[in-house]
Each structure stands twice: as C-alpha cells, then as structure tokens.
Amino acid sequence: GGMTSLPTAASTEATTLEPSTTDPSGDSSSGGLDCADLDGDGAGVGCEEPDCDDDNPSVTDTCVYLGPEGDDANGGSRDAPWRTFERAVGALNPGDSLVILDGRYAEDQVGTLVADCETSAASGTSGAPIFVRAENDRQAVIDRQGRAYGVSVQSCAYWRVRGITIVSDDNPSDADGAWRGNISVGGSSNIELRHLHANHANRYYNEHIVIIGGSEDVLLEDVEVHDFYRSGFTVYASDRVTLRRCY
C-alpha cells in the first residue's frame, strides 16, 4: 500500500488589533487615534505613536516625562524631561499622565515616587485619573536605598501606577526605617497598581514589600515581589482590596 498522508493541522491566524480611526474621547491623542485598551489596564495597543494618555478618559491629553538625565528646569516633554519625582508629581493634575523613561532613579539623587495628596500632590477623579507609568515595563527602576518608600500613594484618590521596578538595600543607618516598604498605599481610594516588580527589603528594619492600609477600592494586578524577610503583601484596616495574579 501507498504511504498515508498525515492530516493537516488546523491553521491558526493571529488577530491584529486595529486602532480606532476616530477620536471618540475628543482628547486629540497622538496621531489622531485612540489606543485600544482591551483589558482595562491603562496601556493601549495598536497606535502608530504612543498615546501617553492611553485610556485616561479626560478631555485634555496632558503628558509629562521624567528621565534619569533630565533637568527640573526643563519643560517636561519627552525630549526635555524633568529629573526629580518631586518636580513631576507636584505638576500632575486630574487626567494627567507621567511617563518615566528607562533608567535607574536613586533616592539620594532624584527622590522616589511619593504622592501625598494632603500636602504635595493632587487626587484624580473617576473621569480623569492620574496615571504614572514606566515607558517600558520594568525598565524604569527606582532604587529606594533602604530609606524612603519606593512608590507611595497617601490620602489620594484615583491614581494608577504601572510598570515600575522598585529595589532597595540593607541600610542600618536609616533612623526612619521602621515600617517602611517598597510600595505603600495609605488612606486612599480607587487606586490601581499594575505590573510592578519589587525586589528586596531593608533587613535592618520591620519592612514589608507591599503595605496597604486604611484604604478602599484598591487593585493590585500582576505585581511581583522577591527577596523579602517579613511579608510580601500586607493588607490591614482596608475594604475591597483585590490582589490578582500577584506573587
């Protein structure tokens, strides 16, 4: 008998995500297109140019940049970014987006991402959240050096943070080291933290990697923690806190 041909496997065809050719939000986003945010994570796909506003449903599309070689005297554009977190965070208003360019950000040089909405930062709104993200996931690295929080959102509402890596050191000389951590949310509501990577806690003090306290409606999604000596995730005195695909 002749050789029997093997059945041909059913072909699979990748689906290409096409951006909208209109601007339904009216935000005049980059290239005249709205990025498609298919999973609601704040990162759009399919645009010819990055739309830094992504799915922020604000009327205006205000985007500013932070860079390791920036200068606080700059205008905050991608070609002329700011340098310190204090300068950038203090400039954000509801609906604004801060994009952190690739590089390492040491606490003793540029500070860390600390938003205290009672003193030095603004809250977003349900229609115009404040969005802080790495331009490329995990390529913007905050080194808190065993001192200040790496990412801290205090007394704020409607903030989103995505794609940042936070690292630390063992630092025996930090007098304020007790009850610190790489990521902290306190007294806040409607906060979304996605695609964060936190590594190492200061072993000289009672540090945890992620601390959520006194807050409500907080989402942690795809947050990865490593190398800790107390707990990776601590949640207390809070309501409606969701951890999804965190490890």
User: Range with the lowest mean pLDDT among 54-63, 75-84, 192-201?
Assistant: 54-63
pLDDT tens digit sequence for 76-109: 998 999 999 999 999 999 988 999 999 999 999 9
- Reported pTM: 0.80
Q: What are phi and psi of 222, to 5 degrees?
A: 55, 45
| pLDDT above 50 for 25 | no
Across 188-223, b (16+ Cβ under 10 Å) vs e yields bbbbbbbbbbbbbbbbbbebbbbbbbebbbbbbbbb
Helix (H) or strand (E) holding 184: strand 181-186
How much is the CA Rg of the chain, to the nearest whole Å?
20
148: exposed, middle or buried (Cβ count in 10 Å: 0-12, 13-18, 19+): buried
User: Range with the lowest mean pLDDT among 55-64, 74-83, 128-137, 227-236?
Assistant: 55-64
Helix (H) or strand (E) holding 130: strand 130-134
pLDDT at 37: 56
215 close to 188: Cβ distance less than 8 angstroms: yes
Contacts of 176 (CB under 8 A, 6+ apart): 147
Question: What confidence category does residue 57 fall into, taking pLDDT thresholds of 50, 70 and 90?
Answer: very low
Mean predicted confidence (pLDDT) in 147-175: 91
Residue 103 tokens read as 């590089």
Contacts of 103 (CB under 8 A, 6+ apart): 67, 68, 69, 139, 140, 141
198 close to 211: Cβ distance less than 8 angstroms: no
pLDDT at 6: 40
Mean predicted confidence (pLDDT) in 159-167: 96
67: exposed, middle or buried (Cβ count in 10 Å: 0-12, 13-18, 19+): buried
User: Range with the lowest mean pLDDT among 1-5, 143-147, 213-217?
Assistant: 1-5
Mean predicted confidence (pLDDT) in 226-232: 90
pLDDT at 44: 53
Q: Which amino acid is at 149?
A: Y
124 close to 95: Cβ distance less than 8 angstroms: yes
Cβ neighbours around 74 below 10 Å, total: 16
Long-range CB pairs of 239-247 (<8 Å, 24+ gap) are 239/215, 240/216, 241/212, 241/215, 241/216, 242/218, 244/219, 244/220, 245/221, 246/220, 246/221, 246/222
